[in-house]
Amino acid sequence: MKLQIKIDGKTYEAEVEVMDEAEGQPGFAPEVSSPATSQPAPAPGAYVPAQTTILTSAAEKQYCSPVTGLVIKVNVKPGQQVEPNDAIIVLEAMKMETSIAAHHAGKVKSVNVAPGDPVKLHQVLIELD
């Protein structure tokens, strides 16, 4: 599939391949499994809010990094009780912030990172009991 992108008035073409789930990276479990879709890019200069992403293990007790980047803020500590939608950690990748929120109530078992730490894609950041 060919796509075009316009940046600062210059048009660039790229070829992309849509992969089946079986061809994806092992260990990656998206929150919702759905077919790939394309959406038009926002207009130049348009405001695009930071995306809130939640990735968990099969046991739904581990919160993993959806990006390679830096930890900006850790809002929880071991033993702390969290409620659904509580912002538990904020990451930065390519000057964009990604907030990870709790998707269910629970008690924080461990926090494996601190502000300023680099993180890799799918790295376990926080575990709940």
Q: What angle do CA 129, 71, 108 make, to 5 degrees?
A: 10
- Span 12-60, pLDDT tens digits: 888 777 766 555 555 544 455 445 555 566 666 555 555 444 444 445 7
Q: Which residues pair with 8 in a beta bridge?
A: none
Please report the domains of the chain, with CATH numbers, ordered by start residue: 50-128 (2.40.50.100)
DSSP states along 13-76: EEE--PPPGGGS-TT---SS-------PPPPTT---PPPB---B-TTS-EEE-SSSEEEEEE--
Tell me the per-residue pLDDT of 79-114, one tens digit each, with 9 for 90 and over. 999 999 999 999 999 999 999 999 889 999 999 999
